Structure 1
């Protein structure tokens, strides 16, 4: 009676256990677990309102590749069917990632991030692909199984698989649309003028008024606001904040929806037409967090901010915080700041990170004098529009177009490498039908890039980009080609 060798099974199990331990160590150390005093379910779910920076996203992706590899190796040795392996690898990667994120709620040194679950799951799936590229016999058996399956002889089933492939593209497009919304804003941040709560980013200058709305106003409304700031009162329910900064103290919000602004440090005695004077000794902060504002903007993913300000120093850096909705100098929803002559803008989205600094958003030569300037900023669908004093002095920035090359390549790899894997399997199904197979190859490479680019152009306002269109095609076609060439090589060898 033949028995399976014990040592290879133990070795495979050891690889899987080691990869799990590495994940737990990297994501939960130091293990200083504690339960918050005021713990509740709403606070539990609110603690997931975080986003990771680009470096963390890459690390989370790479961290789960060994897990996917080890899990696939163990399942393959146990003669589990390939499609079941795919399901179990995805399930185990997502399950472990979800477990880690939940445990991080009880770690003061960690912040649970929902997007990490997606990155970890894709990392595990890529580990699955790597195993089959590495293990020639397993890959060959899978290809032979697909070629000899009933589905490979049915045009109807192949068509259904291709429809599923197209549906997957639309699911991926939802991920891209989510990267530019404001749903990850923290509701517990206050509004601050002239500094951070950490007191280490002071700005020196005057602010006379602030209006904030939960939608991006039109160009015509901008023109009216530049001509007469009181026109913002006509925005109705969209207007969330109206602070008129006159007198010594205190500064109540005129719509009654937000807390009043109170002096921090020594109250300013300066009384000028330019508004309140702010510097390192005295600045303003709301008495409580601007929760209503944060939640409303988080829901609409749009806003308008209007302010009249005057810098008192042309050489301020940090950037020096003019207007900020933030918790610390490293965590914020938005910040308007001065860096020398430039107006710096930081905005929290999934692609800009919790500090809003992963993308550079800067308007040059705004602070070239010490005269008052009326600045209106709107945000909608990835586009930031900045008006300074008049409609002609206008700037437009699109988050997707400003994304660094390495970050863009990483996101496109995450999006299109799994599609390339699916397309290679689909073309192997249709291998016996030469014309259909070629149509699937050309259409499967071109259509995903066209759909994603079309959705991003229509939903985010970005310009049509041939480079990103070709980048998606490169990852899809390149992945498919590597897998097809590998399959052909194995057939020749055997």
Structure 2
């Protein structure tokens, strides 16, 4: 006797098949990420490895292109994870947490493994960008499947048609907290905490000897504090007495006269020694002469200087120098705290008649060249020029011979528009999507739609700009304010239009 088939058996089989298929997509995207970030898997284990070595391995930064790629790489993972979790009927808030934790955990795992890959350099920014990529993938899933978000909304609100006051308050606190964290992150991109402690001080070249400069250098002072224009005037009028009176703030004092050796006067740093094949070392009243055959480098790394400046995130550098050739390019390195021609903490160079300044921060990259800091008409003659460069809170102030001839840059204001567009999209698109989700789950509650939504659109941009102005001393940018508001409001509007479209179709 044949048994009757259960009419519910086929839908259950289909549901189970789709669930396994979605899990397969999650595993496939994970495998793609592993291959893309760890190939060719040529791991090399060191003989000794400490906790200090682990954290030091993350002292790298990503280029803009790498940041874009890291976000895009994790978006499919977030998309398919959201699809899988939705089919398991997981609450939306828990879905968000799972996707973000999974993205961050996978990213941290591959970044840690990259420590043991000679061809890879782990960076903290990659973990942030990968996590944001996973979050954007989740938002992308619910954008195209907005009706599913609406259907699962009741799970978040405890089978109620409206969010409770406590849930709305919790959302507001989370929203504001995220905005504050983003503002703090932006502020951290202009500090000097990522300086490498193991770089030496080099005069007239790179450590690798392939970016020579031809000219004279007579004095070099470096401090771990920024100075005002009034103090800069005193330094330019009488550098010797001014910098020597700075006491504990003075980290480097090199008087470059005589054949050898060039001891650092404060005792903080190692002596400068000749490199290359020196053939023209004479006692010169105007300082030492450096070129492609002879340059100076400290006997070992200037660890104390790097550490002090990294901790305080400010410095002042004074140099008295003269070029021998006004057409030098490369840029030709004059003074450099660097490990190679691609990695540095700080470098002064000559590029034609321009003074080229490279400063390592999380924003400017390991080579310090992601943002252009160029001062024109410095090397138009062969005369000696006094140069003061002082840095604090993202502001670079440069004085050439006198305080009246000064140049000021703020790193946050130098970000190219395409990069700023990308960064603001990463920040404000999730915020706009969050407002759209709140409006949906609150079922168009008046206090949400009339008060919280408009406030939520304006608050992040205003708060972030206010914090950056206060902490970084940057000028107010109406363009930045408008850009943040545009992304937040635009994202929410797009989600709303999508919801109306799907509602009309159904």
Contact residue 151 and residue 157 of structure 1 kept, 8 A: no
Partner residue of 2:305? 293
Q: Provide the C-alpha distance between the structure 2 equivalents of 1:256 and 1:118, rounded to a whole number of angstroms.
A: 41
1:239 is the counterpart of 2:250:
yes
Name the Cα RMSD after superposition: 1.6
> Within the alignment, does 1:74 sit opposite 2:53 as a pair?
no
Tell me the residue number matched to 2:431: 419
Q: 1:146 Cα shift? A: 5.8
Is the Cα–Cα contact under 8 Å of residues 262 and 286 in structure 1 kept in the other structure? yes
**Which residue is equivalent to 1:20?**
30
TM superposition shift of 1:455: 1.0
1:427 is displaced (CA, Å) by: 2.5
Match of 1:31 among 41, 65, 70: 41
Partner of 2:273: 262
TM-fit CA distance, 1:187: 0.7
Cα deviation code 1:158-189 (max 9, x no counterpart):
23422321121111101100111111111111
Q: Distance in 1 between matches of 2:385 and 2:276?
A: 26
In 1, Cα distance between equivalents of 2:183 and 2:163: 31
CA contact (8 A) 1:147 1:431 kept: no
SS, match of residue 167 in structure 1: helix
More divergent stretch after superposition (82-91 vs 427-436): 427-436
- Verify: 1:438 aligned to 2:450, yes or no: yes
For 1:11 and 1:431, the matched residues in 2 are separated by 33
Structure 2 equivalent of residue 324 of structure 1: 336
Q: TM-score, normalised by structure 1?
A: 0.97
Residue in 2 that maps onto 1:140:
150
* Structure 2: unaligned runs, 5 residues or longer: 1-5
1:378-457 alignment, distance < 5 Å:
378-457=390-469
Moved more, 91-100 or 272-281: 272-281
SS at match of 1:201: coil
Q: 1:196/1:35 Cα in 2 relative to 1: closer, same or farther (>3 Å)?
A: same
How many Å separate the matches in 1 of 2:13 and 2:464?
48
What's the secondary structure of 1:385's corresponding residue? Answer: strand
Q: Which moved more, 1:457-466 or 1:467-476?
A: 457-466
Q: Deviations over 1:362-384 (max 9, x none)?
A: 00111011000000000111100
Shift of residue 101 of structure 1? 0.8
Q: For residues 199 and 153 of structure 1, do their structure 2 counterparts lie closer, same or farther at Cα, with a shift above 3 Å needed?
A: closer
Offset, 1:272: 2.3
Distance in 1 of aligned mates of 2:135 and 2:441: 21
Count of residues in correspondence between the two structures:
494
Could you tell me the TM-score, scaled by structure 2's length? 0.94
| Range with greater deviation from structure 2 (101-110 or 146-155) | 146-155
Larger radius of gyration: 2
Confirm whether residue 366 of structure 1 aligns to residue 375 of structure 2.
no
Structure-1 separation of matches of 2:444 and 2:228 = 56
Q: Alpha-carbon deviations, 1:400-429, whole Å to 9, x = none?
A: 111101111111111111111222222234
What residue number does 1:281 align with? 293
Cα distance, 1:152 vs. partner? 2.9
Per-residue deviation at 1:433?
Answer: 2.9
Moved more, 427-436 or 105-114: 427-436
The aligned residue for residue 175 of structure 2 is: 165
Contact 1:146 1:428 in 2 (8 A): no
Greater shift after overlay, 5-14 or 440-449? 5-14
